[in-house]
Amino acid sequence: MIEPNDFIRAQIVSDLASGKHKKVITRFPPEPNGYLHIGHAKSICLNFGVAAESEGECHLRFDDTNPEKESQEYIDAIKSDVEWLGFHWTGDVRYASDYFDALHDYALQLIRMGKAYVDSQSADEMRSSRGTLSEPGRNSPYRERSVEENLALFEQMRSGALEEGSCILRAKIDMASGNINLRDPAIYRIRKIAHHQTGEKWCIYPMYDFTHPLSDAIEHITHSLCTLEFEDHRPFYDWLLDTLGTPSHPQQIEFSRLNVNYTVTSKRKLKQLVDEKLVHGWDDPRMPTISGMRRRGYTPEALRDFCNRIGITKSEGVVDVGMLEFCVREHLENTAPRAMAVLRPLKVVLTNYPEGKMEEIRAARHPNMPEMGERVIPFARELYIDRADFEEVPPKGYKRLIPGGEVRLRNAYIIKCDDVVKNAAGEITELHCSCDLATLGKSPEDRKVKGVVHWVSATKGITAEVRLYERLFTDAAPDRGDVDFKTFINPCALEVVQAVIEPSLAEAVAEERFQFEREGYFCADLRDSMPGKPVFNRTVGLRDSWKPGA
């Protein structure tokens, strides 16, 4: 049951209660000119969410009016993203190009009504005559062409007899309007390029502002939900449907777009990152694309939770990316099994542990979920700890291993560092330690050992590539416009290390997620990881700087 939790849902509840609509029909209308990003996730959750909550329908419709920038790759990626987020569209996938015949007929209807004309001005002439926010525009010298002449010219446009840029079809509204979007907007232009759905059938294509409202009306959409930048376009949306007397008149409602700090969500700029090879494709785990976040290890549940937390308003603002990371951690905390991985190995030899002996230590896969079962961790004389867990000259408060000091190996014994082995360059190559063999599963009675470090068997551990990801940008507002956003790219956003992982991780399948104890949450890479040769991406660290209510 839909609840009036925001102004859009409140409107829908009112419309259903009044009988204005018997069923809610929404649509998610992406342009297939790039991959979807975190901002689209908000729109997906809203459109599909309100439809599901009200037992209505939501259509997936590609607004494919610019074939020059569109591709099947983008279409396939968008469909995959929507499904991965957990949503299902009603009926078949729809395309604006499905309606090109109907849109052409509507354009002819406008011409016959004297509400559209073919303008032969150059692009520069049209731009200069459009006016400004404070000055009205000027009528085109071709504005009063007869209906017959406009019909003939539009047919020449359609047949390919006229060259690109030689003319366009414009709606005839009001060049003196205070809303620039009503100053005779373009509705058709010549583009002699094949379309990925319709092939060579058309050499004229409708403009987005003409296509969108008519596609909504054809599909009997009840609530056309879009972001605030389309608020000034709503008068043309309504003018077009009123003028043509379409069988249905959807209600356009605007909400604020999602802006996240340390993030760029312009598809044009994201494409620039891809084209200039500043990232490794649209699904690079550093990218704010849905496919990138998926590959990094974010879960659909976390993204839906994030979209629910930020809510729906008309107020523009910036959301802290830490809130998104909080949602990811919160979901993975309760779902990701535990394991140990040493990212920067330092060898430890337990000098008093019998050579050739191998123990199998059993540990829970999750401390609070016994139903996840146990894993077996091999333990022997030689093992690895992380280099960060040993300091010859420790800082104040350091609670890990030091010369002459003790720590507990997680799930295993207490060890003491007796000797530090170095190479000719003075670099530490291994530690020689003694093992308190009476401390497996229990603490000594004569002393307290506070430090705990993770470890992996040197002989049974598996070498694996681990990719350590950080935020792609170093500045909180990389897209602010006064500086090239690329200058803020974080050179440390990706570090690749050869880690040693416990054997239980060796057969991880793509997208399987784990908490590497004391390190963070990691995911087997969707592209490159395979059982027996895993590759892991760091999804997010364990520490959290954002708290609810912050």
Distance CA 183, CA 132 (A): 11
Question: CA distances (Å), 229 to each of 9, 10, 153, 207, 215, in order?
Answer: 20, 22, 33, 17, 19
Among all residues, which ones are annotated catalytic? 31, 257, 267
pLDDT score at 544: 73
pLDDT score at 548: 59
**pLDDT value at 416 more than 60:** yes
- What are 373's two structure tokens? 């079962």
C-alpha dihedral sign at 321, 327, 328, 329: positive
- Calculate the average pLDDT of the chain: 96
**pLDDT band, residue 452 (cuts 50/70/90):** very high
Average pLDDT of span 412-433: 96
Residue type, 85: L
pLDDT digits over 129-187, tens only?
999 999 999 999 999 999 999 999 999 999 999 999 999 999 999 999 999 999 999 99
C-alpha dihedral sign at 431, 435, 441, 443: negative
pTM over 0.85: yes
Give SS3 for 165.
Answer: coil
Distance CA 383, CA 431 (A): 10
Distance CA 377, CA 362 (A): 6
**pLDDT band, residue 441 (cuts 50/70/90):** confident
The distance of Cα 105 from the centroid of its chain, to the nearest Å, equals 38
**pLDDT value at 45 more than 70:** yes
pLDDT digits over 238-275, tens only?
999 999 999 999 999 999 999 999 999 999 999 999 99
Determine which helix (DSSP H) or strand (DSSP E) holds 45, and give its type and residue range: helix 38-53
Domains of the chain, each with CATH number or no CATH: 7-255 (3.40.50.620), 267-337+465-540 (2.40.240.10), 342-460 (2.40.240.10)
Task: Return the number of other C-beta atoms located less than 10 Å from residue 429's C-beta.
Answer: 11
pLDDT score at 545: 61
Question: CA distances (Å), 248 to each of 215, 225, 239, 476, 494, in order?
Answer: 11, 16, 13, 44, 51
Contact 269, 472 (CB under 8 A): no
Give SS3 for 392.
Answer: coil
The distance of Cα 7 from the centroid of its chain, to the nearest Å, equals 25
**pLDDT value at 543 more than 90:** no
Distance CA 159, CA 153 (A): 10
pLDDT score at 546: 55
pLDDT score at 450: 86
**pLDDT value at 336 more than 70:** yes
- What are 72's two structure tokens? 């099947």
Percentage with pLDDT > 90 across the chain: 95
Task: Return the number of other C-beta atoms located less than 10 Å from residue 52's C-beta.
Answer: 16
pLDDT score at 481: 80
Average pLDDT of span 117-128: 96
Contact 205, 176 (CB under 8 A): no
Least confident of 94-103, 150-159, 332-341, 444-453: 444-453
